[in-house]
Amino acid sequence: MIPIIRAYSTRALKGASGSVFKSTAFKTIQPSTMSSTKNSGAAPKQQQQQQNAQKKDKQKAKSGGGGGGSAQKPNPSKSTKLRGMEKDSPEVRISKTLSWLLRHGAQGEGLPMRPDGYVKVTDLLQHPKLKAQALDLERIKEMVKNDSKQRYDLVLESPEGAKLLVFSGEDAAASAEVPASAIWWIKARQGHSIKTVQLDLKPINAVSDIPSSMAVHGTTRTAWDMISKGGLSKMKRNHIHLAQNVANQNVVSGMRTSSQVLIFINVQKALDAGIKFWLSDNGVVLTEGDEKGFLPKEFFERVVDVKNGELQGWQHT
């Protein structure tokens, strides 16, 4: 490898030709140590560019964990603190932690995840946050079975990837007959912010593809003040979530019961304008919005305040 010789000072080059090399300091720098040598002679701007490039490389390397297939080794954090608030019951906090890991935290926590969003249950149970709770497969099954919003898919596959069983809460006897080499996998059905996840969703080509023919977004009055100006945004998530009805009226998932403002979407108008919609396995209507991740308010059909009735004049705000 050829070393690189770089002068510390360039001012000396402006002097008399006979004094240049007497007043200029030189240092031999090997290419492998250039980026870590403090006084390499690079201009401040070049040094800053090098630092920025190194920072980006580190960020890319860090973000790469957890998004690959099952061959990637997990590198979980050591924290055992559960998600949720102190007032929540242990079961609620475990549920919130499970949901967070499968939707948002897998990459940062070093949890291997397939492109379709599935995580090995064995890997999940070894994560410190859940391992500290002595969580096991049977408790995972109970959580999946009892989840009121049907957030999760729990499946059993052969080592080759053939699907052997989709857990529904009523197939304990069947699961006892599967080969010992079979692998349990779990995923969240929607709600991800992990960009590498590509869910198998049913496309909506017409409003009639929605069982209720309805799509409603529930929000707060505070959030509505912002939405009324720029439309609905997917923010950090992969999709905007819409329910098929109003909370407490045959809605399984897609809307919080605490919603204060209901935004009814004209799905057919949005489809005709090129906005794409999908239906998740638990009935949530999903859309990425336009190229900026927004569902503009031109596709709002009506807006209702839960306490005060239908809002007027929002089209002109």
DSSP characters over 172-241: HHHHTTS-TT-EEEEEESS----TT-----EEE-SGGGSTTS--EEEE-HHHHHHHHHH-EE-TTSSSEE
Can 90-188 and 202-316 be said to share one CATH topology?
no
The pLDDT value recorded for residue 71 is 37
Contacts 24+ apart (CB under 8 A), 55-63: 63/107
- From the CA atom positions of the chain, what is the Rg in Å? 27
Instruction: Provide block-wise average pLDDT over 10 residues at a time, the chain (317 residues).
Output: 45 43 43 41 53 51 38 56 81 90 87 92 92 90 88 93 84 61 93 85 95 93 93 92 75 69 96 96 92 96 94 86
Residue type, 135: L
236, 107 contact by CB (below 8 A): no
Q: Where are the domains of the chain?
A: 4-63, 90-188, 202-316
Q: Return the structure tokens found at 179.
A: 């080969």
pTM equals: 0.60
CATH number of 90-188: 1.10.10.970
CATH T-level assignment (fold) for domain 202-316: ADP-ribosylation fold (3.20.170)
> In this predicted model, what pLDDT tens digit does every residue of 258-275 receive, in sequence order?
789 999 999 999 999 999
CB atoms inside a 10 Å sphere around CB 60: 9
The pLDDT value recorded for residue 79 is 74
> In this predicted model, what pLDDT tens digit does every residue of 287-317 receive, in sequence order?
999 999 999 999 999 999 999 999 998 988 7
